[in-house]
Structure 1
Amino acid sequence: MTHMMGRVALAALATAFATETLAVEWNVSVWGQRRAFTEHVEKLAELVEEKSGGDFTMNVSYGGLSKNTENLDGISIGAFEMAQFCAGYHRDKNRAITVLELPFMGVSNLDEEVAVSNAVYDHPAVQDEMAQWNAKLLMTSPMPQYNLVGTGAPKDELEEFEGMRVRATGGIGEAFEAVGAVPTSMTATEVYNAMESGVVDTVAFAQHAHLAFGTIDIADWWTENLNPGTVNCPVVANIDAYEALSDEHRRILDESVPEAIDHYLANYGELLARWEEVLAEKGVETVTIPDAELAAFRAEAGPIHDAWIEDMSAQGLPAQELYDLVQDTLEKQRMSN
């Protein structure tokens, strides 16, 4: 009897140990504060915990694990299992996805942004480049076209951009430079102080970031239709951590990504729907750029596309293929709508 009870106890211990080893906890590095930009990360954490019965959890850290500009480095060494980063923070490390940050690519809404990002993320050259950083692309962080907030007199003509000090990264920064502005690529968390102290006159952000980082609170005006482009900010997983997941946990993670994106889009849609109220509440003037000025801006920024293709091709990337992929995906997305 004693021998049998001992065997039962050992079996119970083995079961408990097996259950414990199956539990997975991921650390996730993002920055700033919880906002529309991170809602898909939060939703993903919620979904995997719920579907796994609590065996797969994610701890989302807002700046406690890494600087936002070092999240890809942290992923590469396994300092944490998942992270969000923006391509413009280190363009040399993620060259292929910078095609999504070229100015005036014609993306007009969040659904199109998701479609072109997914298409580019699925390209073998993009996945190979990310694998160099031990990073697996999980999902994008779709953002609308950036627009300016500024202090002082509104700027609605291209000649007024001459000498304008603007916070703008990636291709957007290049576009402003092409028309004589002086772009600065500081990180989002540094922008409020820069604008408040006069280091920059204007800031290019999507709506959620103007809210989250406070630039709308000290702005005098907002351009509603400049739409020079956006930045691309993937969410990635450490490849070793992803491959170490059980088949069940990997399935849960993969199937939860589209649900997390759907949640993000719905949440961001609510923000956009009340944006006019936000501007009125803050006393911010809406500036509409004339069509002729927009056309001139696009013309000045046009050579940036050719230069990107030439530069990336020289570095061994299928640049023209990636560029065409964005355009073809946009066309297919619009036909499906």
Structure 2
Amino acid sequence: MTSAGEFRPHRVVVLALDGLLPFELGIPHRIFGRPKDAQGRLLYEVVTCSVRPPGPVETDADFAVHVPNGPEALASADTVIVPASFELGPVFEAGRLTDELASALARIRPGTRLASICTGAYVLAAAGYLDGRPATTHWADAERFQRLFPKVRVDADVLFIDAGDVLTSAGVAAGIDLCLHMVRRDFGTAVANDVARRTVVPPHRDGGQAQYIERPVPDPQLSTTTAARAWALGRLHEPIQLRDMAGQESMSVRTFTRRFREETGISPGQWLTQQRVERARQLLESTGLPMDQVARESGFGTAQSMRQHLQAALGVTPTAYRRTFRAAGGAERQDGAGVRR
């Protein structure tokens, strides 16, 4: 924890294991390497380490990467991220850590935030960090993951899961969604959205992994639900009925609901709630509107309804969220002291 007035960026340590995917290794550096405070100071410090002394780490491509830090870097981390690796051996086969990996993970301080990208979840599970917790991994590995780690509550339908101090993501690009979520959690929607714009990715992707699982190719002449979603986004502040959304695509409610879930991985009602929560967050951060008005503008109708939905989605009340992230009152976050240590 920093003392009052002292600036220290949140330290993210990425654990590079042999057989790693270069794309996944680059995700934390790209996402956490961009956020800055009002004084132009980087809000995160991102370093890479290995389970061995500094040196080359093999990738799944035709090149190795030089990793400048050994496992001792894990002891100084505020957040540890484990990307996927194709050479985890006993971790994949028997659900147990190698002595080298176990020794490295033992350096992590209690209370450090942990996260995994794709099958990096196998490492967290083998270390016992996911016992009794919800977690996800790449949909193609989820069944084996559940068999190997029966104490983990596996959800293969989502892009990522935030279980507080331990977070897991689905395959590959879902690591971007997870890292943006952590930036959003640490510094708010505006900072995360800015990183997303600079990275040229959506700040929040709809749905879950279900939309990426292979299915029979649909007839290209059939309508999609894209227009209905665009229509709904333009009137989140109004009551929106499922039949109205279906009507935008000239579909029956039953057909529209099935097609919507195929395309997004969630139901129309779940999607609407997600969009309204995001709208409420933006208004709470960027305006001083009374809670009743924020609730109406975001489509929740009443402050009580908005409170219930934000509490369920974010774990905090609208008042607490505004107090933490409102730009006009967020000076204490601009010096990095508001980030979880």
Q: TM-score if structure 2 supplies the norm length?
A: 0.24
Structure number with higher helix proportion: 1
Q: Which has the higher contact order (CA 8 A, sep 6+)?
A: 1
